[in-house]
Amino acid sequence: MDMISTLPSKSEMYRACVSRDSEYEGVFILGVKTTGIFCRPTCPARKPRPENVEYFPNAREALAAGYRPCKRCRPLEPRGQAPEWLRPLLTAVESNPTRRWRDQDLRNLSMDPIRVRRWFQVHHGMTFHAYERTRRLGKALGRLQRGDDLTLAGYDHGYESTSGFRDAFESVFGTTPGRGKHAGCIVMTRLLSPLGPMVAAATEKGVCLLEFADRRMLETQIKRLRSRHGCEIIPGENEHLTRLEDELQMYFCHEITTFTVPLDLMGTEFQLSVWRALQMIPYGSTRSYDEQARSIGRPGAQRAVGKANGDNRIAIVIPCHRVVRSDGTLCGYGGGLWRKKHLLELEQSFRQLRDRD
């Protein structure tokens, strides 16, 4: 069953294609009649004339209509997936995460260091060298927390001197390696979804962040996390992020309607009450801001409730997308209204199908 039942107007979709508007990623696919290919709205290829384009809600329908996928924008791959040219490097990093990479090592893989740096800055918010350096430090922190010797942890993770390891460690974590034995950290990774890449983070207690990678508030949310938890955020994974990734995949495939992954929420008493109320909205249903305010015993506090919804750092799992205006129209979603519409139609279509069965 299609998750998007209606499309924007043709003029709006064509404008989105011409301007390569990323807000429309996941909303529609365009088929080019003259070439027989179908593309994402953001495809860098030259745009055809309006009369030579037709639109589809998803890649499946474009394929069924006889179009083949574009080799430039790769519409069959999840948005944000690493490009083919970068995959040998990512594989090498994962196979030996303690290795210290230099620009010449990238050139030996026939990769331009500048191109690699730009990709990591766009998709991870840091250079490749910063990424692999903090990844090494994160693994070293894990060894320190298990009681390993400071010098051995530094040498085993690519540092040639104890002082170099100590300086690098302190610059990332804001504490010395000795104190780091007792320091916590937040691990962060990038997850792919049908609605675009997402950034997820977790502590030892549970997931503390899940946001779309292109959300404008993402940098602010990360800074708030760092401040509230009193520790740095480093690239990595843990059992909570693995479980979150599995449950997100099942959610988008209509296999689950509730999430069970542990959460680590930090906020004011009012924010926590609003976030708990969001989790009580049934799957496939919506609630107005007024109804949400009344549910927490604060009638008339719709504006404050809306602000707390906007401060929610765990999208989808804490379903702020289920809150709408009193007249049922959509508003106020940091990930973009098209994603809010997509999520609501996904849930409502599955609920209707389940109720009929």
Per-residue pLDDT of the chain in tens (357 residues, 90 and over written 9)? 333 345 788 888 999 899 888 767 777 899 998 888 999 998 988 888 999 999 988 777 787 677 888 888 888 776 666 778 888 888 888 777 667 788 999 999 899 998 888 887 766 666 787 777 666 655 555 544 444 444 444 445 444 455 554 555 555 555 555 554 445 678 888 787 888 778 888 998 999 999 987 777 777 787 788 888 877 677 677 899 999 999 999 999 889 999 999 999 998 999 999 999 999 999 999 999 999 999 999 998 999 999 999 999 999 999 999 999 999 888 888 888 888 988 999 998 887 777 666
Q: Does 172 share its domain with 192? A: no
28 domain residue, yes or no? yes
75 domain residue, yes or no? no
Contact of 312 with 278, CB cutoff 8 Å: yes
Last residue of a domain, one of 225, 252, 279: 252
77 domain residue, yes or no? no
Short-list 298, 292, 291, 332, CA closest to 315: 332
4 domain residue, yes or no? no
Sequence-distant (6+) residues with CB within 8 A of 40 are 25, 29, 70, 73, 75, 79
Q: Does 276 share its domain with 311? A: yes
42 domain residue, yes or no? yes
Q: Which residues are part of the catalytic machinery? A: 320
Number of domains in the chain: 4
Q: Does 56 share its domain with 93? A: no
Helix (H, G, I), strand (E, B) or coil at 194: coil
> Which structural domain, as residue segments, surrounds residue 48?
10-69
- 117: phi then psi, degrees, rounded to nearest 5: -60, -45
CA 299 remoteness from chain centre: 33
Q: Partners of 39 in the beta sheet?
A: 30
Sequence-distant (6+) residues with CB within 8 A of 161 are 154
225 domain residue, yes or no? yes
Q: Partners of 211 in the beta sheet?
A: 199
pTM over 0.85: no
Q: How many residues does the chain have?
A: 357
280 domain residue, yes or no? yes
Buried-state track 37-67, b at ≥16 Cβ within 10 A, e below 16? bbbbbbbeeebbeeeebebbbbbeebbeeeb
Q: Does 340 share its domain with 273? A: yes
Last residue of a domain, one of 252, 287, 307: 252
Alpha-carbon dihedral of residues 274, 280, 282, 288, nearest 10 degrees?
Answer: -30
